Structure 1
């Protein structure tokens, strides 16, 4: 397995968009590793709220058709963007796989919902860092369309979609740089 310094992996983590992906397929083995690493995210009271639905092959085309049709249905003629419509379809076609990021609310509501959303986001960060360590591009998209995913997926009671995690290999010559302001501007020390 590829090992790298955790600081390097964290600083290399980037959004790599579906339009940047090449045709190389992300293996089920690697997807399983992403999901296993996601499963080790912190979770208050062990609610383990993260749920994932892996969409591959023809199911990606069905998802693209569903999302683009839903976009058409919920968008007024004056707000409709052919560019956005085509981007929805192309994102699904370009990705090697799409993981629907879902959250299962604890039925006993032992913790506030925001903690379960935060746990799910930490699970996604584990996937993202695993992708970075293995040179896989990924991107978390959370369009308004996620509110309609109950018409595509079978959800358990209290489960909802928080977004889509697009996966794909990309050519190394793609320069993905990021900037951060100094941490000193964001921290207040108290003694």
Structure 2
């Protein structure tokens, strides 16, 4: 609690670290060369796994490309484009882009044949990803959460080891921020809230 005196009165303001963490987190697109250890990534995923998930299904697994592993994924991306994957970058540009990022995490989940369970599992996996972003930001690490269409390409799926019946929910680019963008204006949440509390009822 922060207590200060203002205009002859005691002004008490309460600081909420989690609220600050959520509001200050940014998507990072440019990273330093500094590596992030696999142990640290695993620790962050362990924290993130406390995301709510119905019946504790824990509908996720992870493929981490780190260190020399980033070259393997960069080669896959260059091959994807060479084989007709529609990208804005050339194979060499895409390869260099992936090599410029210290670590990559593929978030993989089962695609249950029951659409209701599938929706629940995707929601839980998304909650885990947000947990990961926040836990990483707390440690000074940035994340770029991407859901590009190449994640669905059969060739890409085969090369990274996605199994039949699995969905690659996201790829997370991870590293220490080289540049942190400023906050962008957001719509006031009051414009998106409908309150039903009975106060206006006759």
Please say whether Structure 1 and Structure 2 have the same fold, judged by a TM-score greater than 0.5: yes
1:11 paired with 2:23, answer yes
Contact conserved, 2:70 with 2:98, CA < 8 A, in 1?
yes
Select between 151-160 and 130-139 the one with higher mean Cα deviation. Answer: 151-160
**Residue number in structure 2 paired with 1:187:** 193
- CA distance change for structure 1 residues 174 and 113 in 2, over 3 Å: closer, same or farther? closer
Residue 37 (structure 1) shift: 1.3
So what's the TM-score if we normalise by structure 2? 0.79
Contact conserved, 1:150 with 1:160, CA < 8 A, in 2?
no
The answer for unaligned runs of 5 or more in structure 1 is none
**Higher RCO structure (Cα 8 Å, ≥6 apart):** 1
Contact conserved, 2:51 with 2:127, CA < 8 A, in 1?
yes
Aligned residue runs from structure 1 range 80-119, under 5 A = 81=88, 83=89, 85-106=91-112, 109=114, 111-119=116-124
Residue 84 (structure 1) shift: 5.3
Aligned residue runs from structure 1 range 77-156, under 5 A = 81=88, 83=89, 85-106=91-112, 109=114, 111-148=116-153, 149-156=156-163
Runs of 4+ in 1 over 6 A off after TM superposition: none
1-structure distance, mates of 2:45, 2:180: 26
- CA distance change for structure 1 residues 134 and 176 in 2, over 3 Å: closer, same or farther? farther
Residue 48 (structure 1) shift: 0.7
**Residue number in structure 1 paired with 2:69:** 59
Q: Please say which structure displays the higher CA radius of gyration.
A: 2
Please report the RMSD computed on the Cα atoms of aligned residues, expressed in angstroms: 2.2
2-structure distance, mates of 1:175, 1:155: 33
1:169 paired with 2:176, answer yes
1-structure distance, mates of 2:90, 2:54: 38
Contact conserved, 2:60 with 2:107, CA < 8 A, in 1?
yes
Select between 64-73 and 128-137 the one with higher mean Cα deviation. Answer: 64-73
- CA distance change for structure 1 residues 47 and 110 in 2, over 3 Å: closer, same or farther? farther
1-structure distance, mates of 2:122, 2:36: 27
**Residue number in structure 2 paired with 1:159:** 166
- CA distance change for structure 1 residues 91 and 163 in 2, over 3 Å: closer, same or farther? farther
1-structure distance, mates of 2:195, 2:90: 45
Higher strand share: 2
